[in-house]
Structure 1
């Protein structure tokens, strides 16, 4: 009888654990994974920003059009700086165990993650917007 009771308790434990693991798999990416996915999406665009800055820099002068190039160039440079600042700040707030989700986040770190999620989404808009404006300006001058 004692063996049956132990077997029953172990079975319930295994089933409960298995159900929890299955639930986690169905939940989709964690908030940390979503934040990192946005970073991973826009990080390769740093090369595009660098290329566009180089192209715009050669066109900056004192004319009205040259001033537009300068504004677009500074916009790109600010977006690049925002990415570097975001990564540095993120790295000071979270260690590798936090990032790899090997441990549960403290209440403070969860608040930080909420903040970082908003920041990285704004960063994505800043980067994509600065690239789109610079490319539109450069394409506009190629058409003329």
Structure 2
């Protein structure tokens, strides 16, 4: 249970229209913060002390998008690196295609690409369908 004066992290989700094998939002949610709880409002809402740069985000938030602050500084993404929108999402952008791979199934082969995303490290790369990536980012496939 959270109380006034505790520090929490705010969950922000990547917003992109990419579906990998029919599953949206393949990258794990990221957290920014820590922010201090000013007041508990009702049973499941808290008012946070947000900095002026996040003034466009409403400061009364539901408990489902908050996480108790953990002391590991590497688990926290600094909010000024990520342009956060009103609904606490951010636009995910492809930075680089690292390699290509053919996934062999029983009767067919599927071309996949390993993708590096803008606000994620090398350890958080994902495998995406080459056709869908070429459709969304044609400039990355010119060569």
The TM-score, its normalising length taken from structure 1, stands at 0.22
Q: Which has the higher helix share?
A: 1
- If you compute each CA radius of gyration, which structure gives the higher value, 1 or 2? 1
Q: Which has the higher contact order (CA 8 A, sep 6+)?
A: 1
Q: Which has the higher strand share?
A: 2
